[in-house]
Structure 1
Amino acid sequence: MDGADDERPAPRCAVVVNPVKVADLDGFRRTVNDALAAAGWPEPVWYETTVEDPGLGQTREAVGAGAEIVLACGGDGTVRACVTALAGTDVALAVLPLGTGNLLAANLGLRDDLAAGLEVAVERGTRRLDVGAVGDQCFAVMAGMGFDAQLLDGTSERTKRRLGWPAYLVGAVRHLRDRPMRVSVRIDDRPPLRRRARSVLVANVGRLQGGVRLLADAEPDDGWLDVAVLTPRTLGHWLAMAWALLGRRGRVPRMELFRARRVEIVSDRAQPRELDGDLIEPGRSLTAEIRPGALWLCVPRPERDPDLAVDADAAAERGARLVEEARHE
């Protein structure tokens, strides 16, 4: 799929939206419909998520109805449900970020910019990405067990609404001195590694909330998962890690890196766990495996740059013009 071909007919599309994340759903719907109409697209079919179904069933219904592109509008849970439903299909995913987390949107450089997300969708530049699978659930960015999920669990929705992504720093500070977990990490068929770790991350791409690049070498379509085992024990260790990450230094202290097609993590006690910034049930183990090339994703630029955010700023400018033009039509 290529974003440069303007001769293709406009695609049938659907919007899967979490209504809780939108203050004015009718106004939001008008903005999206008008922008798509200005781009020559037919009116999309809209599906609202529910507490019982955060988007999986709605996305599957949209695919069954013939959608060629699904626009996911919501936080991490909505986007991840759409990823799970679309993995293994030829239907593309576009992200219209809402909420405060939006790990996949952060890796696309979209932040919470609706206009940029709409522009990326209508330009139809797509790449086939790998996804990770944990049981019957998929993730596009990363899975985690331990501290990363702990800070998500410790950050309230109210604080996130007030502060945005820096709210996660508040949650992090509360757990810096918690005791580590004893883990066994099996990389593919190798003998298990045993560590006292604070967190084990399994990533397909490398950005965290706020755009911090945790895994500089992680590529979204190389057929590998990047595994990071974090072993800080003191406040000094945490500060050294943060300094290395923010300064984009090559080596991050107290972090071991591995690559795997399948990774199995087993802890000595139940731990909080997350997929793409969305909490799942706590557990003592987490097993993830790669599904190469399983997802078509709308990206700012379709070339094979390892950074999915390439051209995001320019797409935001074009998107702002698209939305402005739609308002005057």
Structure 2
Amino acid sequence: MKAFPTLALIVNSGAGRVRPSSVARVREELARRFRVTVHVGSSPDEVARLARQAAREAEVVVAFGGDGTASRVAAGVVGSDAVFSALPGGSTNHVARLLGFPADPVRAARLLAGPARFRFLDVGRVDAERILLFLGGTGIDGTIVRDAPPSAKRFFAWRTYLVPGLRHLLDGPWPFTVEVDGIQHVVRARSVLLANGSFLVHPYFRLGPAIDPSDGLLDVLILHPPHLVGWLELFAWTALGRLWRSRYVASYRGRRVVVRAATPVPAEIDGDSWIGITELAVTVEPRALRALVPAFVRGVGE
């Protein structure tokens, strides 16, 4: 990459930890290496539009927000000549962690402005404008994201999800047909998770033993605890970093996954809520996203 390449910083002004002061400090750090322009969006659709435009004009396009922002920006970069990266500014920041960045956005920007390398990631194609970059799901997962107050994320980060999680713990189960590479599985589940990323909240809390965001496969986890005691067992395995060991988790892997429900069920893609859907189809595009990451830091899954 040439000296002082162009960089477009796509900022989600509504993200939990994004402030004008933090944007200024992040820009200052990035300007040590890049010619930076800042583009501020206040909604997911505006962030997506800004990302598509930036991918035509800049060599590097960086998301500054949460996982939903990172996913929207990555969707705009896929298929272009631009390179993607993400700085932490949201409640969970799974994508920034995946890429090897620390939780502090200024420190992360300082790393990005230093020695860097490329990392290639799979994406899950949802439709022409949406991708699944890290994690999505239907059922309780979608309900929790739907009911988490956006204003609370600014102060409580990932803890914002705890109250709606407890409130909806015994919702369902819903009847799903989960199709993985053409093979159908008829299940009753509290939640069906589609994972390109390997952890939840912290890398210790792994979702599966061998989830790799660049292996060309999507991992499916079907959570079906029948009662509160079943949830307690599942949480215990999660606390041990071995969620998949629970008898109430079924796992599959494939290149194309379709989740169908008889009635509308809440869903989410990378932290963005879908109020209710009857079908969620995701097709893996192997190593379709080229990301710029710190040269001497290993991201999750490397």
- CA shift in 2, pair 1:142/1:301, >3 Å: farther
SS at match of 1:167: helix
The residue matched to 1:173 in structure 2 has which SS? helix
Identity of aligned residues (%): 30
- Counterpart in the other structure of 2:56: 64
**Residues 86 and 92, structure 1, Cα contact 8 Å, conserved in 2:** yes
**1:200 and 2:231 aligned:** no
Q: What corresponds to 2:131 in structure 1?
A: 138
Could you say which residue in structure 2 is the equivalent of 1:315? none
> Aligned to 2:3, what secondary structure does the other structure show?
coil
Q: Which has the higher strand share?
A: 2
> 2: CA distance between counterparts of 1:24 and 1:227?
36
Shift of the 37–83 alpha-carbon distance from structure 1 to 2, 3 Å rule, reads closer
- 1:86 equivalent to 2:87? Answer no
Distance 2:123 2:214 in 1: 9
**TM-score of the two chains, using structure 1 as the length reference:** 0.83
How far apart are the structure 1 equivalents of 2:216 and 2:191? 23
The residue aligned with 1:223 is: 216
How far apart are the structure 1 equivalents of 2:48 and 2:59? 16
**1:52-201 maps to which residues of 2 (within 5 A)?**
53-65=45-57, 67-108=58-99, 110=101, 112-122=103-113, 123-136=115-128, 137-190=130-183, 192-201=184-193
Q: Distance in 1 between matches of 2:154 and 2:233?
A: 29
The answer as to 2:229 corresponding to 1:236 is: yes
Counterpart-to-counterpart distance in 2, 1:300 and 1:232? 40
Cα distance in 1, alignment partners of residues 239 and 6 from structure 2: 42
Deviation at 1:91, TM superposition (A): 1.5
SS in 2 for 1:166: helix
Judging changes above 3 Å, is the alpha-carbon distance between structure 1 residues 301 and 274 closer, same or farther for their aligned structure 2 residues?
farther
CA root-mean-square deviation: 2.3
- The alpha-carbon deviation at position 81 of structure 1 amounts to 1.0
Pair 52,90 (structure 1): closer, same or farther in 2 beyond 3 Å:
closer
How many equivalent residue pairs? 297
Output one character per residue of 1:143-199: Cα deviation in whole Å (capped at 9) or x when no partner: 211111111112212332332212212211001111200011111122x11111111
Determine which structure has more spread, i.e. the larger CA radius of gyration. 1
Q: Does 1:254 align with 2:248?
A: yes
Q: What is the alpha-carbon distance in structure 1 between the residues aligned to residue 101 and residue 148 of structure 2? A: 22
> Which deviates more from structure 2 when the two are superposed, residues 292-301 or residues 236-245?
292-301
- Cα pair distance change 1:51/1:307, threshold 3 Å: closer
Q: 1:48 to 1:161 in 2, by over 3 A?
A: closer
Q: Does 1:275 align with 2:269?
A: yes
CA contact (8 A) 1:54 1:81 kept: no
What amino acid maps onto 1:181 in structure 2? W
For 1:17, the aligned partner's letter is V
The offset of 1:301, in angstroms, is 5.1
Q: Structure 1: how far apart are the matches of 2:153 and 2:272?
A: 14
Cα distance per residue 1:123-155 (max 9 Å; x no partner): 322211100011221121022111111111122
* CA offsets 1:45-68 (integer angstroms, 9 cap, x no match): 111113373311111211222x11
Structure 2 unaligned regions, length at least 5: none
Tell me if the contact between 1:106 and 1:207 (Cα under 8 Å) persists in the aligned partners.
no
Residue aligned with 1:54, SS:
helix
Q: Structure 1 residues 12 and 158 mapped into 2: Cα distance closer, same or farther (>3 Å)?
A: closer
Which runs of no fewer than 5 residues in structure 1 stay unpaired? Answer: 1-6, 311-329
